[in-house]
């Protein structure tokens, strides 16, 4: 079993230890309104895999217009340092995929997130295989965040569907923890079809089952934690 930054139960068995580094993982928003949920879920998974290294977050300009701007407060809420993420806006989907390939080839990065809206004609099976080979060589995980798109064949190691879920009120009627409905649509060489409702435990900085069983999502640690500085790219 791979070394994990967070012990798990609901996904550890089906994924044999958690999300694998050096692979492509796809996350589809169930509905367009779930764009924020899938972004938050991906952040929560990418942070421990990056282990303090810089996360490169790529998005086309039209995604920024449709999906808004990621807030530093939300990033910190999910346990990360906003300064440890490098955001880049690209002119179009072709530039987006080129930047993704160059980013995932850089072993100094902790993770690469590619946010896209709608169908990407250029992201065919050949292009996804190229990304997967680059991730395998560098060891950098690549997260494809897909909004307003339907799953298509790809070289991704895992494929997920994510939606926002109702949260349970805390004692004293305090606001509940952020909750997510997730489904494993595909896993190369393994079973799929599992569904879970997870919530974000702010105190422990983990995803756990909404049943309060204490089980958490498994994410492998790649490198020692390090402080990152504030950086942005245009």
Handedness of CA 193, 26, 47, 178 (dihedral sign): negative
How far is it, in rounded angstroms, from Cα 50 to Cα 221? Answer: 7
Fold classification of 24-156+212-232 is: Rossmann fold (3.40.50)
Q: What is the pTM of this model?
A: 0.82
In terms of average pLDDT, the best of 77-81, 183-187, 206-210 is 183-187
Predicted confidence (pLDDT) per residue in 16-39, tens digit: 657 889 999 999 999 999 998 999
Distance of alpha carbon 75 from the chain centroid: 13
Break the chain into its structural domains and give their ranges.
Answer: 24-156+212-232
Residue 185: its pLDDT value, please?
Answer: 93
Segment holding 160, helix H or strand E: strand 158-165
Higher pLDDT, 205 or 114: 114
């Amino acid at each position: 079993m791979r070394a994990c930054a967070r012990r798990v139960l609901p996904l550890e068995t089906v994924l044999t230890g958690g999300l694998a580094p050096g692979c492509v993982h796809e996350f589809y928003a169930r509905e367009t309104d779930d764009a924020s949920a899938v972004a938050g879920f991906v952040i929560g998974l990418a942070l421990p895999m990056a282990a303090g290294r810089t996360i490169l977050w790529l998005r086309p300009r039209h995604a920024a217009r449709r999906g808004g701007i990621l807030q530093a407060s939300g990033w910190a809420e999910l346990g990360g340092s906003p300064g440890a993420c490098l955001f880049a806006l690209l002119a179009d989907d072709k530039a987006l995929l080129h930047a993704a390939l160059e980013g995932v080839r850089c072993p100094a990065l902790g993770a690469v997130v590619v946010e896209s809206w709608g169908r990407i004609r250029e992201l065919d099976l050949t292009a996804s295989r190229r990304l997967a080979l680059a991730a395998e060589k560098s060891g950098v995980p690549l997260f494809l965040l897909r909004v307003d798109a339907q799953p298509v064949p790809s070289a991704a190691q895992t494929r997920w569907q994510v939606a926002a879920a109702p949260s349970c009120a805390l004692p004293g009627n305090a606001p509940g923890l952020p909750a997510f409905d997730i489904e494993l649509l595909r896993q190369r060489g393994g079973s799929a079809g599992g569904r879970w409702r997870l919530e974000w435990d702010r105190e422990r900085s983990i995803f756990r089952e909404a049943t309060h069983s204490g089980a958490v999502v498994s994410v492998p640690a790649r490198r020692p934690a390090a402080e990152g500085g504030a950086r942005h790219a245009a």
